[in-house]
């Protein structure tokens, strides 16, 4: 056999095999006439046969693509075209010869395109859930979480969405949002039983399938104003932590596509995230309310003049973000006229929440011991017993001071229990230390303390302070103690100032000394005998009076 005959035989065998190729293949010339069709193409396109026109035998998208390949500069010979053939999607892969003849390989891409579409939708849903989680968890505000839930559900899942919170009596808190609109809050008096599945969703039961809910039975209060008739509805619970956070209602208008089972599952995934965020926000709000109530009892009180004696106080916790700590002070006005008021300033070992809790215990115990306020020693002994009998291992230092106005002066008795002795600022600027000292409270079975008596002339003050001031480290090098001597010099410069001004001056100087350095709690109470003006005696015979 010659080489020419061999080639002819190979081509004949190739043509026979090519006609049985599993993929549809057809060849059309430059004029749009079909030249050759294999068996798969003939089965797919019954009108396609040699001699038929492309425009008459193949789908329009394929005929148009073939025409474009024959027009110079309009057709890309390597580009893949695609389009429908019956209920399937085919891709046309062209191979163009120099003479304009085109060989079309047709590939069924239906499953591939469906997979791509499913992947695209899954990516969109994942991105949506990620965005929803970020928005919902960015705030612990209940109202914001509820509004974000309603708005995102209306924009991405339905034509309108309602977030239903657990009922408050006969009222049902609602947040309603139309697509493209703003959330609207309301609390109508309605019955959850009127919506199929809503009462069960509010109790945390699994959602009712959409196909079981007849949209025409939905009550008017569920439909937002201007929404029209409902075509389909989804009711799903908003799961919380142990208890349901509410329910989510999704609405689509009549004439719109209904919810598919896949969309119902996705709505439940969104509801799970929204319910967790709303439950966390409500838990945070409840804890914040409890903390605020407890903290109000622990915060230092605002001081003012009591029975002619000026009181002023200042407090700075060790951490700027905290409001309470281990230092405390109180002023208890006298119950009877002419009796001394009791001042308490203390420092609990340690700082933070545990120290604040013990501080509250000490303050409450001292408040209960107020009938014994005249006997400092007895108060300290009873307080020491109370602390020793508690489960705390911390101890405290404190100062008790009783102050009463006598004429234009103030008489004081001060008792220190392991605390820095109070400093007296005379009108001349001299700073004296009260002669009192004692043992710690809550550390040993017995407590011993010495009480000092002193008088304050008008304009003179007694300063009670905690060691947070004297032990504050700062200054030019950042590690020097503020110290008692520096405190004395500051107080000496404050001679004659009102009590509030002395507190502000000491706090300002200490803050400047500290800079941004760390420090302990700092508390200060100033007791002053106010400057007075003597009123003239009436008719020159009475004793006259003083103004405070």
Convert the pLDDT of each residue in 197-248 to its tens digit.
Answer: 899 899 888 887 777 778 888 888 999 888 888 899 999 999 988 788 999 9
User: 13 vs 120, which has greater pLDDT?
Assistant: 120
* DSSP label of 242: S
Question: What are the tens digits of pLDDT across the range 421-466?
Answer: 999 999 999 999 999 999 999 888 898 999 999 999 999 999 999 9
Token readout for 100 is 């304009």
Nearest to 220 by CA among 179, 191, 242, 184: 191
Other C-beta atoms within 10 Å of 213: how many? 20
Q: In this structure, what token pair is assigned to residue 418?
A: 């392991």
Provide the pairing of β-strand 230-238 with 184-186.
unpaired
- Position with higher pLDDT, 110 vs 326: 110
Rounded Cα distance between 149 and 274, Å, is: 6
The answer to which of 138-142, 155-159, 273-277 has the lowest mean pLDDT is: 138-142
**284, pLDDT greater than 60:** yes
Q: Give yes or no for residue 418 having a pLDDT over 50.
A: yes
Listed residue (445, 426, 371, 410) closest to 546, CA to CA:
410
| Structure confidence at residue 415 as a pLDDT band (50, 70, 90) | very high
Strand partners, 432: 424
Q: Report the distance separating Cα 167 and Cα 426, nearest Å.
A: 65
Q: What is the pLDDT of residues 500-548, one digit of tens each?
A: 999 999 999 999 998 877 778 899 999 999 886 555 554 545 554 545 5
Report pLDDT for 3: 46
Coil vs helix vs strand at 484: helix
Neighbouring residues of 483: CB distance < 8 A, sequence distance ≥ 6 = 470
More confident residue, 100 or 180: 180
| Of 68-82, 155-169, 524-538, minimum mean pLDDT range | 68-82
Residue 99 confidence (pLDDT) above 90: no
pLDDT at 11: 55
Rounded Cα distance, 302 and 264, in Å: 58
Partner residues linked to 410 by β-bridges: 405, 456
> Which residues have CB under 8 Å from 317's CB, separation 6+?
323, 324, 325, 327, 351, 521
Among the listed residues 489, 484, 499, the one whose alpha carbon sits nearest the alpha carbon of residue 314:
499
Q: What is the mean pLDDT of residues 28-52?
A: 90
Give the residue among 30, 92, 31 at the shortest CA–CA distance from 58.
Answer: 92
* Per-residue pLDDT, 295: 77
- Contact between 315 and 523 under an 8 Å Cβ cutoff? The reply is yes
Look at 6-15, 22-31, 288-297, 442-451 and tell me which has the smallest mean pLDDT: 6-15
Lowest mean pLDDT among 111-115, 150-154, 333-337, 438-442: 333-337
What is the distance between the alpha carbons of residues 122 and 498, in angstroms, rounded to a whole number? 71
Instruction: Assess whether pLDDT exceeds 60 at residue 473.
Output: yes
Q: In terms of pLDDT, which residue wins out, 391 or 122? A: 122
Residue 7 has pLDDT above 50, yes or no: no
Q: What is the pLDDT of residue 75?
A: 54
**318-343: per-residue pLDDT in tens?**
776 666 778 899 999 988 888 899 99
What pLDDT score was predicted for residue 499?
94
Q: Does residue 76 surpass a pLDDT of 80?
A: no
Spatial separation of the C-alpha atoms in residues 423 and 488, rounded to whole Å: 8
Contact yes or no for 503/300 (Cβ under 8 A): no
pLDDT on residue 394: 80
Comparing CA positions, the residue from 208, 225, 217 lying closest to residue 162 is: 225
Bridge partners for 346 per DSSP: 328, 398
Report the chain's mean pLDDT, rounded to a whole number: 87
Task: Give the model's pLDDT for residue 15.
Answer: 64
Q: For 369-406, where are the alpha helices, taking DSSP H only?
A: 376-388
For residue 175, the model assigns a pLDDT of 95
Handedness of CA 13, 16, 17, 18 (dihedral sign): positive
């Amino acid at each position: 056999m010659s080489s020419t005959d061999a080639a002819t035989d190979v081509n004949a065998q190739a043509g026979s095999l090519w006609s049985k190729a599993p993929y549809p293949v057809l060849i059309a010339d430059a004029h749009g006439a079909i030249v050759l069709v294999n068996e798969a193409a003939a089965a797919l396109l019954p009108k396609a046969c040699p001699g038929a026109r492309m425009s008459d035998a193949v789908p329009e998208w394929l005929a148009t693509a073939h025409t474009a390949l024959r027009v110079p500069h309009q057709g890309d010979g390597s580009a893949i075209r695609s389009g429908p053939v019956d209920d399937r999607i085919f891709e046309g892969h062209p191979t163009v010869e120099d003479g304009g003849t085109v060989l079309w390989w047709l590939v069924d891409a239906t499953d591939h395109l469906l997979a791509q579409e499913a992947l695209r939708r899954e990516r969109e849903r994942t991105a949506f859930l990620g965005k929803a989680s970020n928005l919902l968890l960015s705030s612990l505000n209940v109202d914001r979480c509820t509004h974000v839930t309603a708005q995102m559900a209306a924009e991405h899942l339905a034509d309108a969405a309602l977030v239903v919170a657990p009922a408050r009596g006969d009222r049902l808190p609602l947040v309603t949002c139309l697509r493209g609109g703003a959330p609207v809050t309301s609390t109508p008096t309605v019955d959850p039983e009127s919506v199929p599945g809503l009462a069960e969703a509010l109790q945390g039961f699994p959602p009712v399938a959409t196909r079981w809910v007849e949209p025409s039975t939905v009550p008017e209060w569920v439909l937002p104003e201007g929404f029209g008739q409902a075509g389909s509805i989804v009711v799903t619970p908003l799961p919380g932590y142990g208890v349901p956070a509410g329910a989510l209602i999704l609405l689509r208008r009549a004439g719109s596509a209904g919810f598919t089972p896949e969309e119902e599952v996705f709505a439940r995934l969104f509801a799970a995230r929204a319910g967790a965020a709303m439950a966390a926000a409500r838990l945070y709000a409840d804890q914040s309310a409890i903390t605020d109530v407890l903290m109000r009892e622990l915060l230092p009180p605002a001081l003012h003049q009591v029975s002619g004696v000026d009181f002023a106080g200042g407090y700075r916790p060790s951490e700027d973000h905290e409001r309470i700590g281990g230092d405390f002070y109180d002023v208890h006005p006298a119950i009877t006229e002419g009796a001394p008021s009791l001042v308490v300033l203390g420092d609990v070992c340690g700082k933070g929440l545990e120290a604040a809790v013990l501080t509250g215990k000490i303050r409450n115990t001292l408040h209960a011991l107020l009938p014994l306020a005249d006997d400092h020693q007895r108060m300290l002994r009873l307080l020491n017993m109370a602390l020793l009998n508690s489960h705390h291992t911390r101890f405290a230092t404190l100062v008790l001071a009783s102050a009463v106005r006598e004429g234009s002066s103030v008489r004081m008795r001060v008792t220190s229990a392991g605390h820095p002795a109070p400093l007296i600022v005379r009108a001349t600027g001299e700073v004296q230390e009260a002669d009192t000292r004692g043992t710690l409270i809550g550390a040993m079975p017995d407590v011993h303390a010495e009480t000092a008596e002193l008088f304050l002339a008008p304009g003179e003050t007694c300063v009670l302070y905690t060691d947070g001031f004297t032990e504050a480290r700062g200054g030019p090098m950042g590690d020097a103690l503020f110290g008692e001597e520096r405190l004395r010099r500051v107080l000496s410069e404050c001679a004659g100032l009102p009590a509030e001004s002395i507190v502000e001056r000491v706090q300002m100087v200490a803050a400047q000394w500290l800079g941004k350095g760390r420090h302990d709690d700092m508390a200060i109470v100033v007791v002053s005998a106010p400057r007075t003006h003597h009123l003239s005696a009436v008719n020159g015979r009475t004793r006259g009076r003083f103004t405070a």
